[in-house]
Structure 1
Amino acid sequence: MADKDAGDLVWFFGYGSLMWNPGFVHDDFAPARLDGWCRALCIYSTHYRGTAARPGLVLGLKPGGSCVGRAIGVTREREPEVLAYLDARELLDTYVYDRVRLPVTLLDRRAEAEAWCYVAKPDHAQYAGHLGGEDVLRCVREGHGLAGACADYVRNTVMHLRAMSILEPELEAIVAELDAADRDDA
C-alpha cells in the first residue's frame, strides 16, 4: 500500500464475488476475518440463480461462526461513491441485506478495522438460513435464472475461494455432491 495507513481508509468486507470482482477502484486489498458471522447459501434467488417456482440460493452472511474474506479499502472521499455502487449491486430492490459496520481483523497486519458489511436479514422472506442440507442441495441443483445455473455459481465460488486458500467446508461438500451426481449421470 502506497502512503496510506489502514486507519486512513474506509473498508468494505467481501465474502463472495466482491473478493475477486469488486467492480470499483480500490486503494488496498487485504485478507480479513469477520467474527460472529459466517458465509452461507442463505438467500433465495428468484431472479439471477433461480425463479419463483424453483429458487436457487446465493451467498449471504448469517449469524454465527466466522468468515475469512477480503477487506477492500478506499479513501474516505470515495466512501459515498462506493456505498452507492455497492447498495445498487447488493440491495437491488429486495433489501434482503442490512448494510452495517462491523469489526474485522486484517490478517496480514494483525490489525482491527471497521468495515461495511452486507449481512442477511433473518426476518426477510428471501432468507433461507434455516434450510437443512438436503434442501440447500435441492435448491442448488434446481435453481437456474437469468445469470445461469445455481450449481455453476456455487462451483465458481468454491474455485475462487480455493484460489485464495480459503476452505469453506459446507460449500466444498455441496460441490462434492454435485460432482458425484454428475459422475452418476454420465
Structure 2
Amino acid sequence: MAVSTLANTSLETAYKRRDPAAMLKAAMHEWGGESDLWIFGYASLIWRPEFESAEDRFATLHGYHRALKMWSRVNRGTPELPGLVFGLLPGGSCKGVAYRLPQERVAASLPALWEREMPNAVYDPKWLRCRTAQGDVRALAFTLSKRSPNHTGVLSEDHYRQIFSSACGRYGTTRDYAQLTYDKLRTLGIDDQALGKLLQRVS
C-alpha cells in the first residue's frame, strides 16, 4: 500500500472516531458561559438558523472563504450518492451573518444546532474574529480542513452537474441548498460571484 493511501486511511479513521458530544463539550468549555455566544452563519444558517437570536449583524470573516467542497452523506446526499454542502476553507474572506445567542439560551439552543451541523463530526468548530459595523465579535464558526476526507478537492464541471442533478439527503437536494444560499446572500446584498457562476454553468 502506498504511503499516501496509508495516510488517507489513517485520516479517515481519525475522523470516524471523532465524537460530536465531546466536541460540543469542548466548544462549550471554550465559550466559558460568562457572556452571550456569537455564531457565524455563511450558508444554510443565513436562511434557516432554527434558533432565536437576540441580534443579527452583517459580518466579514477574514482568513476563510465559503466553498461548496464538502461531501454530505446525510443532509444533502447519501453514502451511496454523496451530495455537497458549504464549508469554510482557509484563505480569502467570507461575508455572512453573526448571530448573538443570549447567555441564558445557549444551553438549550446549541445542542440542537450541533445535532444539525455535526451529525458526523465533520466540521472543525473554531472561535474566530468576525468584523461587524458595530465592532468585532468572537464567533463560533464551522470550518473545514483541506486535509479532511470530507473535503472534495477539485471537482470537474461534469461532476458538479451530476451531483446537482441527483444528490438528495434528509434536508433535500444539493441543488436546492446551493440555490437557496445564493438567493439569500443576494437579498442581503452579498454577491458570491463564484457560486453564481457555478449555478449558471451546471444548470
Whether these two folds match at TM > 0.5 is: yes
Counting strand residues as a fraction of each chain, which structure ranks higher? 1
Cα RMSD over matched residues? 1.8
3-state DSSP class of the match of 2:200?
helix
Deviations 1:6-28 (A, max 9, x none): xx632110001111221111110
Counterpart residue number, 1:19: 46
Contact 2:160 2:202 in 1 (8 A): no
1:34 match: secondary structure: strand
Instruction: Give how far 1:137 is off.
Output: 4.1
Deviations 1:1-59 (A, max 9, x none): xxxxxxx6321100011112211111100000111111111211123322223221111
Deviation at 1:173, TM superposition (A): 0.9
User: Given the superposition, is the C-alpha separation of residues 147 and 80 from structure 1 closer, same or farther in structure 2, using an over 3 Å criterion?
Assistant: closer
Query: Aligned equivalents of 1:89 and 1:149: distance in 2?
Result: 16
TM-score under structure 1 normalisation?
A: 0.81
Retained in 1: the 8 A contact 2:47–2:181? no
**Alignment partner of 1:38 out of 65, 69, 84:** 65
Residue 200 of structure 2 corresponds to which residue in structure 1? 176
The whole-number CA distance in structure 1 between the counterparts of 2:105 and 2:47 is 20
Q: Which residue matches 1:184? A: none
1:85 to partner: Cα distance: 2.2
In structure 1, the partner of 2:131 is 105
1:183 counterpart residue number:
none
8 Å contact from structure 2 (residues 67, 86) kept in 1: yes
Are the structure 2 counterparts of residues 86 and 148 from structure 1 closer, same or farther at C-alpha, using a change threshold of 3 Å? closer
Runs of 4+ in 1 over 4 A off after TM superposition: none
Answer yes or no: is 1:91 the counterpart of 2:118: yes
Number of residues of Structure 1 aligned to a counterpart in Structure 2: 168
* Match in the other structure for 2:4: none
Matched AA of 1:36? G
1:131 to 140, 145, 154: 154
Query: Are 2:178 and 1:160 equivalent residues in the alignment?
Result: no
Distance 1:170 1:137, change over 3 A: farther
Q: Which residue of 2 aligns with 1:50?
A: 77
Distance 2:110 2:75 in 1: 22
Asked if the contact 2:41/2:98 (under 8 Å) is kept, the reply is yes
Cα distance change on mapping 1:95 and 1:121 into 2, 3 Å: farther
Q: Which runs of 5+ in 1 are unaligned?
A: 1-7, 180-186
Correspondence for 1:80: 107
Letter in 2 for 1:154: A
| Secondary structure of the corresponding residue to residue 87 of structure 1 | helix
Letter in 1 for 2:50: G
The DSSP-based 3-state class of the residue aligned with 2:136 is strand
Deviation string, structure 1 residues 54-90 (Cα, Å, up to 9, x no partner)? 2211111111111100000022233333322221111
The question of 1:29 aligning with 2:56 is answered yes
Q: Does structure 2 retain, via aligned residues, the 8 Å contact 1:102–1:114?
A: yes
- Structure (1 or 2) with the greater helix fraction: 2
